[in-house]
Structure 1
C-alpha cells in the first residue's frame, strides 16, 4: 500500500508517519510526506497513492481543493482528512472522503482506518494471466504458490492449476507487494497461505509441501513474522 501525508506542519506529518510505522510492516507499506499539495499532485500524477491523509487548512492549497484534484485523477483513492473542525465534514462528501480524524490522531482510529483500506484493497486484488491465448483474471487471495517448470510457470490456486509462459523472477517482483515470497529458485509462495514452516520446507493450508532453499530460510522466517505483524493491524 502506498500512503501519502500532506500537512503544512511538520510535527503532525511526523506524528502520523511514526504511528503508521508502528502499526504497519514497512516492507508492505510505503509512506511519503508532503508539506505542499502542489508537490503531492506532481508525484501522484507519476505514481498514484492508494491512500492519502490531507490536512484541511493549508496555506498554498487547502485540503478540500487538493482532494478534488486527486479524486479527478483516481476514483479509487482513499481520502482521510485531518482536522479539528467538524463543520468541514459535509464538504468532504463531495470528494467521497473516507474519514475525518482530529489532530493529534488517535492511534485506535488510525488503526481502524488502515485496516479498513487494507481489507478493501485485498478484496480487489487480481492477477492477469494469459493461458492458451486467453486472458484470465485470478483472485490473488486464492493463489497458493507458483512453480517454475522449464519455460513455464504453474500457478496453483484453490480452483485448480494454470500453466503460463512467463519468467518466475518477473512474478517475484510483481507479487511481492501482495505478500508472496521466493522460497526456492523454482517456487514462490503466498505467505498468507503458509500453515507451517518445517526444517527445509513450508506447508500450505492445503497441505502442499514446498522446498525452501537453505539460503532463503532465515529471510523467509523474517518475511513471515513481518507479514503476521502487518496482518494484525
Structure 2
C-alpha cells in the first residue's frame, strides 16, 4: 500500500511538471494574449510665417542704419516646453497628450522675428543670439505665452510677450512694450489651435516690427 501511494505521488508530481512545461510553451507560442499599451500617434505642429511673408525680400537698409541683435526669447513658467498648452478654467494649465509643437513656441519665435525685422529695412542687419557680433541695439523678449483658451466657444488662442529694446553698449532702455493677440480657432481641437496660433502670430510680429522701427526712428513721437 505504501509503495502504491508513493507511485501515485510521483505520478502527480510528474503530471504537474508536464502541465507547467506545457503552459510555458503555450505562453512562448503566443497562446496567451499579453496586454499591450496602445499609443496614439503624436502629431507635431510648427509656427511659421505665411507664404507671402516667407517669400518677401528685405528692402535695402537706410544709410547709417544700425545692427540689431535679437536675444533668445524667454517663456513664462508653464510654457517652456513643446507641449501644446490649453486652459479650460482660470489658473489651471493642461497639455494635449498626443499633440505638440516641433519646439517650444518661444524658441520657434526667434527666427520668425528676425525675418520680420529684416523686412522693415530699418536695420543694416538683424542677428539672432547667440552670436559674437555686438549690435547697436538689442531686442529682449520675455514672458512668452501661447495657449488655447476654452473659456468660451469657439476657443481662442492667445499669444503674448513683453519686448524691450536696449541701446548698446550703454545698456540704456529705448522702449518697453507688451504685445498680445488673440484669434478664434476654426475648430475646437489641437489643429484648430495651431491654425489660430499662426494667424495671431502673423499680426503680433507685424505690430512688434513696426514698434521697433518707430522706436529707432523716433516717429511717431512717443512710439515707445
Q: TM-score if structure 1 supplies the norm length?
A: 0.27
Larger RCO (alpha carbons 8 Å, 6+ apart)? 2
Q: TM-score if structure 2 supplies the norm length?
A: 0.28
